[in-house]
Amino acid sequence: MKIVAIDGPAGSGKGTVSRILSKKCNLLYIDTGAMYRSIAYQVLKLGIDITDEEKITDIAKNSKIEFIDEKTYLNGIDISKEIRSMEVTKIVSPVSSIVPLREVLVGMQREMARNHDVIMEGRDITTVVFPNATYKFYLDATTPERAKRRYKENIIKGINSSYEEVLENIKKRDYNDMNKSVGALKIAHDAIYIDSTNMTIEEVVSAMENVIENDKHKEV
Q: Of the listed pieces 70-78, 118-126, 130-138, 209-217, which binds ligand DC according to CB under 6 A?
A: 118-126
Total interface residues for ligand DC by CB under 6 A: 15
Alpha carbon distance 17, 106 (integer Å) = 22
Could you say which of 12, 18, 22, 32 contacts ligand DC (CB under 6 A)?
32
Site for ligand DC in 170-199 (CB under 6 A): 173, 177, 183
Distance CA 45, CA 62 (A): 15
Q: Return the number of the residue (158 or 216) whose C-beta is nearest ligand DC.
A: 158
Q: Give the closest residue to 127 by CA, choosing from 177, 208, 180, 183.
A: 183
- Tell me: does residue 8 bind ligand DC (CB under 6 A): no
Indicate the burial class of 74 (C-beta count within 10 angstroms; 0-12, 13-18, 19 or more). buried
Q: Does residue 4 bind ligand DC (CB under 6 A)? A: no
The footprint of ligand DC on residues 91-110 (CB under 6 A) is 92-93, 96
- Could you give the CA distance from residue 177 to residue 126 in angstroms, rounded to a whole number? 15
Query: Any contact of residue 12 with ligand DC (CB under 6 A)?
Result: no
Q: What is the largest CA-CA distance in the chain?
A: 49
Residues that bind ligand DC (CB under 6 A): 10, 32-33, 36-37, 92-93, 96, 122-125, 173, 177, 183
